[in-house]
A and B are shown apart, each in its own frame.
Chain A
Amino acid sequence: MSGIFSKAMARNIFYGGTVFFFLLFLALVYDTERELPTRDNRQNLSAEVIAGKKIWETRNCIGCHSLLGEGAYFAPELGNVYPRRGPEFIKAWMQSQPTGAPGRRQMPNFHLSDEELDNLVAFLKYSSEINTANWPPNIEG
Chain B
Amino acid sequence: MQYKSQAVAMPYFIAAIGLFVGQIIFGLIMGLQYVVGDFLFPEIPFNVARMVHTNLLIVWLLFGFMGAAYYLVPEETETELYSPKLALILFWVFLVAGALTVLGYLFVPYATLAQATGNDLLATMGREFLEQPLPTKLGIVVVALAFLFNISMTMLKGRKTAISMVLLLGLWGLAIFFLFSFYNPHNLVKDKFYWWFVVHLWVEGVWELILAALLAFVLIKVTGVDREVIEKWLYVIITLALVTGIIGTGHHYYWIGAPEYWQWWGSIFSALEPIPFFAMTVFAFNMVNRRRREHPNKAAVLWALGTGVMAFLGAGVWGFLHTLAPVNFYTHGTQITAAHGHMAFYGAYVMVVITIISYAMPLLRGRAANSEKAQVLEMWSFWLMTIAMVFITLFLTAAGILQVWLQRVSDTPMSFMTAQDQVALFYWMREWAGVVFFIGLLTYLASFFVKGEAKAVAS
Is there direct touching of A and B in the complex, by C-beta distance under 8 Å? yes
A96 within 8 A of partner (CB): no
Residue of chain A at shortest CB distance from B415: A140
With A57-B125, A63-B47, A130-B189 in contact, do A71 and B119 touch (Cβ < 8 Å)?
A: no
Among A61, A71, A135, A140, point to the contact of B413 (Cβ < 8 A): A140
Q: Return chain A residues, CB-CB under 8 Å to B104.
A: none
With A32-B258, A57-B123, A70-B333 in contact, do A10 and B190 touch (Cβ < 8 Å)?
A: no
Contact A59 B239 (CB under 8 A): no
Contact B38 A7 (CB under 8 A): no
Task: Please measure, in the bound complex, the distance between the C-alpha atom of A82 and the C-alpha atom of B143, giving whole angstroms.
Answer: 42
Contact A76 B417 (CB under 8 A): yes
Contact B254 A133 (CB under 8 A): yes
Q: Identify which of residues 55-89 in chain A touch chain B, using a CB-to-CB cut-off of 8 Å.
A: 56-64, 66-77
Residue of chain A at shortest CB distance from B244: A21
B136 within 8 A of partner (CB): no
With A17-B239, A59-B111, A137-B409 in contact, do A68 and B192 touch (Cβ < 8 Å)?
A: yes
Task: Please measure, in the bound complex, the distance between the C-alpha atom of A137 and the C-alpha atom of B238, giving whole angstroms.
Answer: 36
Contact B247 A25 (CB under 8 A): yes
Q: Identify which of residues 405-429 in chain B touch chain A, using a CB-to-CB cut-off of 8 Å.
A: 407-409, 413-417, 419-420
Residue of chain B at shortest CB distance from A20: B243
Task: Please measure, in the bound complex, the distance between the C-alpha atom of A101 and the C-alpha atom of B41, giving whole angstroms.
Answer: 11
In the assembled complex, the CB of A8 is this many whole angstroms from the nearest CB of chain B, namely 9
Contact B50 A7 (CB under 8 A): no
Contact B192 A42 (CB under 8 A): no
Task: Please measure, in the bound complex, the distance between the C-alpha atom of A57 and the C-alpha atom of B409, giving whole angstroms.
Answer: 31
B34 within 8 A of partner (CB): yes
With A63-B50, A73-B338 in contact, do A50 and B235 touch (Cβ < 8 Å)?
A: no
In the assembled complex, the CB of B444 is this many whole angstroms from the nearest CB of chain A, namely 27
With A7-B228, A17-B239 in contact, do A141 and B126 touch (Cβ < 8 Å)?
A: no
Q: Mark B184-219, 1 if CB is under 8 A from A, else 0.
A: 101111101100000000000000000000000000
In the assembled complex, the CB of B320 is this many whole angstroms from the nearest CB of chain A, namely 18
B257 within 8 A of partner (CB): yes
Residue of chain A at shortest CB distance from B228: A7
Task: Please measure, in the bound complex, the distance between the C-alpha atom of A65 and the C-alpha atom of B428, giving whole angstroms.
Answer: 21
With A14-B235, A36-B258, A102-B38 in contact, do A77 and B189 touch (Cβ < 8 Å)?
A: no
Q: Return chain B residues, CB-CB under 8 Å to A77.
A: 333, 416
Among B41, B242, B246, B257, point to the contact of A132 (Cβ < 8 A): B257
Q: Mark B260-279, 1 if CB is under 8 A from A, else 0.
A: 11110100000000000000
Q: Identify which of residues 23-72 in chain A touch chain B, using a CB-to-CB cut-off of 8 Å.
A: 24-25, 28, 31-32, 35-36, 39-42, 45, 49-50, 53-54, 56-64, 66-72
Q: List 10 A-B contacts (CB under 8 A).
A: A7-B162, A32-B262, A57-B184, A60-B51, A63-B47, A75-B46, A98-B41, A103-B36, A136-B408, A137-B413
5 cross-chain pairs, A with B, having the tightest CB-CB distances, nearest first? A63-B47, A57-B126, A69-B333, A105-B37, A135-B255
